[in-house]
């Protein structure tokens, strides 16, 4: 272990000494300066910004998310180098649009920013992927797709991750999905036993695809029959 | 009696080459019994042209720490590609959270990262209290610090034991479980459960510590460093251990940050990001402790970082034990905290509060919050969205080991099959948290 | 007639659970029921196959570690290969995605085999009454002993193991049904009729009332 760590959080703002927040107001309070800069730089994409419980939320138009996140990541006065989370929120009021949420952290400035994009349910649920900027978005976006059915454009490998790929019932975290699933328990069990995800490999994801001709006949038949991936 | 002699064993893995792959040189024994390394002549490596093999580790495999499935494509014994498959333990935590009141969700947080239950309880309560706009009492703050650090020690001890088993040492497992049994005893005296504690409530704790509990804690603090030192003596300079961990699964600082790693993995890579220091909670900024940071980001550095964190947790526990103030544990807020049973049965107002809380549950104002804590695995966040009803619209868990695990292909590719086990162990995965 | 002796003309009835040795003959032979001998051997050297998925697996590890010491029951030899295991200990919750895995592990185990369902989730789905979790592994594989608890304490698991030992000791080799491999229905792959599964998976207890999101 060395004395000087390679990267020290707070390095861009050495005077700051973070303390535990106390007495955080419900609404209002100091806003993250990045919000104002996003508004100045992306006037067309900026919708609104608010501070709730001391955390700044910036609402932006979905199609501009990638540009904004790239600016936040690359610009020297922002340096949001850490992606905490990508998730989505659906409200109980089914008329309200679906929200996709990005939680970003700027370690050099010790800042936290929540970015939100609202997508109306009447339109196809698509937002740009931030995977080209943060590699850590890979599984987070896949999970969001799995649970909400939101398609992240530009994600290289958007497959279901927690449920198996042949899962029939839909997207579990959507509000119209019942707690115990759409089908009866016996039907769910029958489908799960039939899926056998652990006995399958994927052709598209493996370089072994080059050796398709050498595979056993039975495996070739299964793979040719549209059996894509296990999950 | 034969004289004791020290054998200098040169490591079989000397480091990384320019491409980031491990350089490997075989061990050679000469006539005198000395062991040394020699550059292998290139002709010794059999040429396997295009003969890739596919193997499937898991979902039921002792070294996958649960039900992880790894599909590995091997060239000889070298991993060419690694495709992790998760979700075998997906239990729908987040969905069920939308159907429960805030206090009712706390038992689920026990079972999500089950090595770290008290820590999860505290994290959840912190998030819910932010959402309700409640300030906890000073005594509760210190008790929660004690709970968090105890659970960090618990989690690291399991990690230590199972990793040692994976790499071939059984004894540290028994030692670390002995220490865990002592923490179990402490928790059992405190709240009545060993593993799934449900320690906190929104606005306080499930129970105050019983009389004499701090003596037990001080006793534990005194003896735990001895066990850590024993493991340290046995493992840290052990030739087998060092040979199997140095230079394995290395991640550079920039890569680790970009991949969203957190916790000991990120710190082993050289980024000193610790939520306790950078985005503090529970007054962690008033405690005196160090954040250990590695340089190489390999399995060995992760091991060193976690060992040091164990010692630092003991330091925090000492300070917390010294400053524990008297006073109430729960906030004085009848909206959130159940009245004592005697009052609920005798006073009309208390009875109404009791009824309202049990039947309807407390209602937070409309809003949302993301509260992150430093769990033993990394940045653990709880994101709540409330629409004013007693049940959250969305309860999101930001799982640190899920994001950490997603970088496993980057770590294992180019290494040997046996190193996959060491790397996987060094990530410290908990499938309950990954799949939720 | 002596007090407490056998009635005249009858040999005393043997105690079924006692190995009879005839030391007088000095030939070193033992007479017992073959059932008893085999079961005695089986019950005291059960090799567990720990199918640990969640929290219960940690308590299982605690049971195997030094304080509780599973070796006292001849069980310290963990068999992570199902083909060399006698008893499947399913420790933890089993989601639907894992159902085919546990089914396959059970089918790979050789007879005689037993199954302990450790913890509330494995036994009944426990607190996870939702779209993802199998409501009790007895809808997938046959179970011999259910250990309640969330998770069970090591003492609880040890009590379950001792119950299983009792069960093993009472088995009769002549009972042909005992070692029958249950064949699942070829189309649905279910052992038991769908209606029974639905009945077993009905919500019970507190979770009946907690199916409303929001208010």
Q: Is residue B279, in this structure, part of any structural domain at all?
A: yes
The pLDDT confidence band at residue B16, using thresholds 50, 70 and 90, is very low
Region B69-73: mean pLDDT is 85
pLDDT reading at B148 higher than 90: yes
Chain A 124-183, residues with CB within 8 Å of chain B CB atoms: 134-140, 143, 147, 160-164, 172-173, 177, 179
Helix (H) or strand (E) holding B421: helix B417-427
The pLDDT confidence band at residue A206, using thresholds 50, 70 and 90, is low
Shared domain check, B36 and B101:
no
Q: B16-30, B60-74, C9-23: which has the minimum mean pLDDT?
A: B16-30
Angle, nearest 10°, between helix axes C99-108 and A185-195? 60
- Name the CATH topology of A8-14+23-162: Beta Polymerase; domain 2 (3.30.460)
Q: Is residue B14, in this structure, part of any structural domain at all?
A: no
Nearest to B382 by CA among A53, C93, C210: A53
pLDDT reading at B346 higher than 80: yes
pLDDT reading at B61 higher than 90: no
Residue C99 backbone dihedrals phi, psi, to 5 degrees = -55, -50
Number of structural domains in chain B? 2
Tell me whether residues B391 and C213 touch, CB distance under 8 A: yes
Shared domain check, B65 and B161:
no
pLDDT reading at B8 higher than 80: no
Chains touching B, CB cut-off 8 Å, 3+ pairs: A, C
Tell me whether residues C53 and B431 touch, CB distance under 8 A: yes
Q: Is the peptide bond before C151 cis (omega within 30 degrees of 0)?
A: yes
Cα dist from A82 to A109, A120, B13, B28, B256, whole Å: 11, 28, 32, 45, 10
Q: Is residue B220, in this structure, part of any structural domain at all?
A: yes
Tell me which of B209 and A212 has the higher pLDDT.
B209
B348 within 8 A of B326, measured Cβ to Cβ:
no
| Region class of B283: left (phi > 0), else alpha (psi between -120 and 50), else beta | left
The model's pTM is 0.85
pLDDT reading at B365 higher than 60: yes
Residue with tokens 């040169």: B10
Region B282-308: mean pLDDT is 90
The pLDDT confidence band at residue B9, using thresholds 50, 70 and 90, is very low
pLDDT reading at B186 higher than 60: yes
Tell me whether residues B50 and A10 touch, CB distance under 8 A: no
Strands (E), A13-158: 46-52, 55-60, 82-89, 98-106, 111-119, 126-128, 151-153
Q: Is residue B389, in this structure, part of any structural domain at all?
A: yes
**DSSP state at residue B125:** H
Residues on chain B touching C215 (C-beta within 8 angstroms): 360, 389-391
Mean pLDDT of chain B: 84
> First CA to last CA across chain C, in angstroms?
82
Shared domain check, B358 and B221:
yes
CA dihedral C38, C39, C41, C42 (to 10 degrees): 120
Tell me which of B65 and B316 has the higher pLDDT.
B316
B284 within 8 A of B119, measured Cβ to Cβ:
no
Q: A103-117, A189-203, B110-124, B162-176: which has the minimum mean pLDDT?
A: A189-203
Considering only CB atoms, B370 lies closest to which of A93, A103, A202, namely A103
The pLDDT confidence band at residue A230, using thresholds 50, 70 and 90, is very low
The pLDDT confidence band at residue B181, using thresholds 50, 70 and 90, is very high
pLDDT reading at A231 higher than 50: no
Distance separating alpha carbons of residues C93 and C102, to the nearest angstrom = 11
pLDDT reading at B228 higher than 80: yes
Shared domain check, B105 and B70:
no
Nearest to B160 by CA among B303, B291, B317, B308: B303
Tell me whether residues A184 and C103 touch, CB distance under 8 A: no
Chains touching C, CB cut-off 8 Å, 3+ pairs: A, B
Write the pLDDT tens digit of every residue in B258-281: 999 999 999 999 888 999 988 999
Full residue range of the structural domain in which residue B137 is found: 93-435
Mean pLDDT of chain C: 83
Tell me whether residues C130 and B60 touch, CB distance under 8 A: no
> Angle at CA C170, nearest 5°, toward C168 and C173?
85
Write the pLDDT tens digit of every residue in A67-107: 999 999 988 888 898 999 999 999 988 888 999 999 999 98
Q: Is the peptide bond before B75 cis (omega within 30 degrees of 0)?
A: no
Number of residues assigned to chain B: 436
Q: Is residue B410, in this structure, part of any structural domain at all?
A: yes
Residue of B nearest to C133 (CA): B91
**Domain CATH for B216:** 1.10.645.10
Q: Is residue B44, in this structure, part of any structural domain at all?
A: yes
Q: Is residue B3, in this structure, part of any structural domain at all?
A: no
Per 3-state DSSP, what percentage of chain B is helix, strand, and coil (rounded to 5)?
Answer: 45, 15, 40
The pLDDT confidence band at residue A225, using thresholds 50, 70 and 90, is low
Which of B39, B65, B85 is the last residue in one of the domains? B85
Cα dist from C207 to A171, B97, B432, C127, whole Å: 22, 13, 21, 8
Tell me whether residues A186 and C194 touch, CB distance under 8 A: yes
| pLDDT score, position C16 | 66
| pLDDT score, position B28 | 54
Distance separating alpha carbons of residues A189 and C132, to the nearest angstrom = 10
Tell me which of A183 and A215 has the higher pLDDT.
A183
Residues β-bridged to residue B83: B71
Write the pLDDT tens digit of every residue in B95-110: 999 988 899 899 999 9
pLDDT reading at B7 higher than 50: no
Shared domain check, B120 and B37:
no
Distance separating alpha carbons of residues B422 and B146, to the nearest angstrom = 31
pLDDT reading at B248 higher than 60: yes
In chain B, % of residues over pLDDT 90: 39
Which of B63, B85, B107 is the last residue in one of the domains? B85
Instruction: Centre a 10 Å sphere on the Cβ of residue B139 and count the other Cβ atoms it contains.
Output: 19
Region C195-207: mean pLDDT is 79
> Angle at CA C153, nearest 5°, toward C170 and C76?
60
Residue with tokens 């009792």: C166
Nearest to B142 by CA among B228, B99, B204, B81: B204
Written as one string, the DSSP assignment of C133-197 is: B-S-GGGTS--SEEE-SSSPPHHHHHHHHHHHHHHHHT--TT-GGGGPPPPPPTTT--SS-HHHH
Chains touching A, CB cut-off 8 Å, 3+ pairs: B, C
| pLDDT score, position B306 | 92
Distance separating alpha carbons of residues B230 and B433, to the nearest angstrom = 30
Shared domain check, B162 and B61:
no
Nearest to C169 by CA among C36, C19, C32: C36
B165 within 8 A of B241, measured Cβ to Cβ:
no
Distance separating alpha carbons of residues C205 and A46, to the nearest angstrom = 49
Distance separating alpha carbons of residues A46 and A58, to the nearest angstrom = 8
Which of B85, B116, B134 is the last residue in one of the domains? B85
Shared domain check, B64 and B108:
no
User: Exposure string (b/e) for B107-117, b if CB count within 10 Å is 16 or more?
Assistant: bbbbbbbbbbb
Tell me whether residues B62 and C214 touch, CB distance under 8 A: no
Task: Report yes or no: A175 at the C interface, CB cutoff 8 Å.
Answer: yes
pLDDT reading at B30 higher than 50: yes
Nearest to C119 by CA among C60, C46, C176: C60
Tell me whether residues B66 and C57 touch, CB distance under 8 A: yes
Q: Residues A158, A164, A165, A168: is their CA dihedral positive or negative?
A: negative
Write the pLDDT tens digit of every residue in C10-62: 777 766 666 666 666 666 667 777 888 888 888 888 899 988 888 899 999 89
Region C86-114: mean pLDDT is 89
Q: Is residue B351, in this structure, part of any structural domain at all?
A: yes
| pLDDT score, position C190 | 83
| pLDDT score, position B129 | 92
Shared domain check, B140 and B63:
no
Tell me which of A157 and C90 has the higher pLDDT.
C90
Q: How far is A185 from chain C (nearest CA, A)?
A: 6
pLDDT reading at C132 higher than 80: yes
Q: Which of the residues A185, A191, A196, A198 would you substitute to probe the C interface, choosing the one with the greatest number of C C-beta atoms within 10 Å?
A: A185
């Amino acid at each position: 272990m060395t004395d000087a760590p390679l990267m020290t959080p707070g390095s861009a703002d050495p005077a700051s000494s973070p303390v535990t927040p106390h007495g955080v107001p419900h609404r209002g309070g100091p806003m993250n300066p990045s919000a104002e800069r996003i508004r100045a730089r992306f006037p067309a994409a900026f919708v609104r910004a608010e501070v709730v419980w001391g955390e700044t939320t910036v609402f932006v138009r979905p199609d501009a998310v990638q540009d904004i996140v790239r600016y936040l990541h690359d610009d020297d006065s922002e340096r949001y180098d850490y992606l905490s989370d990508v998730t989505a929120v659906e409200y109980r009021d089914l008329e309200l649009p679906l929200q996709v949420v990005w939680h970003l952290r700027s370690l050099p400035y010790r800042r936290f920013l929540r970015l939100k994009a609202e997508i109306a349910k009447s339109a196809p649920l698509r937002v740009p992927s931030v995977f080209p900027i943060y590699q850590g978005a890979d599984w987070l976006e896949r999970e969001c797709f799995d649970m909400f059915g939101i398609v992240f454009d530009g994600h290289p490998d958007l497959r279901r991750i927690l449920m198996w790929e042949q899962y029939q019932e839909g997207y579990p975290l959507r509000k119209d999905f019942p707690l115990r699933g759409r089908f009866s328990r016996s039907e769910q069990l029958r489908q799960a036993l039939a899926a056998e995800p652990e006995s399958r490999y994927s052709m598209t994801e493996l370089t072994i695809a080059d050796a398709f001709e050498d595979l056993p006949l039975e495996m070739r038949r299964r793979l040719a029959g549209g059996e894509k991936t296990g999950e | 009696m034969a004289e004791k002699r020290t054998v200098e064993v040169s490591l079989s893995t000397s480091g990384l080459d320019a491409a980031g792959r491990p350089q490997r040189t075989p061990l050679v024994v000469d006539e005198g019994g000395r062991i040394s390394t020699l550059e292998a002549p290139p002709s010794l490596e059999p040429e396997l042209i295009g003969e890739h093999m596919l193997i499937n580790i898991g979902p039921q495999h002792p070294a996958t720490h649960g039900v992880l499935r790894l599909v590995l494509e091997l060239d000889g014994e070298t991993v060419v590609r690694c495709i992790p498959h998760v979700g075998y333990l997906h239990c729908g935590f987040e969905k069920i959270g939308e159907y429960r009141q805030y206090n009712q969700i706390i038992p689920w947080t026990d079972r999500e990262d089950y090595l770290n239950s008290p820590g999860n309880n505290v994290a959840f309560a912190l998030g819910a209290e932010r959402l309700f706009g409640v300030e906890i009492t000073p005594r509760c703050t210190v008790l929660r610090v004690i709970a968090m650090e105890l659970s960090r020690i618990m989690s690291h001890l399991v990690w230590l034991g199972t990793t040692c088993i994976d790499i071939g040492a059984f004894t540290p497992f028994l030692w670390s479980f002995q220490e865990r049994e002592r923490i179990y005893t402490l928790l059992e005296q405190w709240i009545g459960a060993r593993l799934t504690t449900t320690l906190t409530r929104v606005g306080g704790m499930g129970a105050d510590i019983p009389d004499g509990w701090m003596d037990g804690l001080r006793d534990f603090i005194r003896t735990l460093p001895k066990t850590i030192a024993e493991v340290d003596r046995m493992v840290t300079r052990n030739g087998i251990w060092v040979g199997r961990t140095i230079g394995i699964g290395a991640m550079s600082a920039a890569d680790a940050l970009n991949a969203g790693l957190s916790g000991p993995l990120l710190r082993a890579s050289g980024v000193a990001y610790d939520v306790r220091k950078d985005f503090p909670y529970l007054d962690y900024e008033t405690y005196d402790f160090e954040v250990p940071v590695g340089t190489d980001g390999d399995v060995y550095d992760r091991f060193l970082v976690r060992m040091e964190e164990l010692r630092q947790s003991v330091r925090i526990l000492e300070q917390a034990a010294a400053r524990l103030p008297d006073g109430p544990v729960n906030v004085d807020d009848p909206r959130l905290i159940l009245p004592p049973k005697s009052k609920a049965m005798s006073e009309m107002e208390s009875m109404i509060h009791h009824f309202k809380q049990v039947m309807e549950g407390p209602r937070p104002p409309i809003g949302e919050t993301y509260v992150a804590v430093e769990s033993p695995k990394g940045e653990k966040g709880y994101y709540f969205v409330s629409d004013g009803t007693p049940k959250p619209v969305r309860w999101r868990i930001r799982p640190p080991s899920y994001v950490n695990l997603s970088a496993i292909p980057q770590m294992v590719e180019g290494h040997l099959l046996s190193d996959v086990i060491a790397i996987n162990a060094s990530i410290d995965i908990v499938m309950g948290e990954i799949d939720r | 007639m002596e007090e407490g002796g056998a009635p005249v003309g009858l040999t005393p009835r043997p105690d079924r659970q006692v190995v009879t040795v005839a030391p007088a003959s000095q030939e070193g032979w033992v007479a017992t029921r073959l059932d008893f001998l085999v079961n005695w051997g089986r019950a005291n050297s059960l090799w567990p196959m720990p199918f640990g998925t969640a929290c219960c697996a940690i308590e299982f590890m605690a049971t195997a570690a030094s304080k509780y010491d599973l070796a006292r029951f001849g069980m310290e030899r963990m068999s992570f290969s199902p083909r060399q295991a006698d008893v499947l200990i399913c420790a933890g919750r089993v989601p639907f995605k894992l159902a085919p895995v546990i089914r396959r592990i059970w089918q790979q185990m050789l007879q005689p085999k037993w199954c302990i369902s450790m913890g509330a989730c494995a036994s009944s789905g426990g607190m996870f009454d939702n779209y993802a979790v199998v409501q009790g592994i007895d809808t997938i594989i046959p179970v011999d002993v259910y250990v309640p608890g969330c998770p069970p304490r090591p003492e609880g698991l040890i009590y379950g193991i001792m119950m299983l030992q009792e069960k093993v000791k009472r088995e009769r080799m002549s009972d042909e049904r005992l070692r029958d491999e249950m064949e699942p229905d070829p189309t649905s792959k279910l052992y038991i009729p769908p209606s029974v599964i639905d009945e077993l998976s009905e919500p019970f207890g507190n979770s009946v009332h907690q199916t409303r999101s929001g208010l």
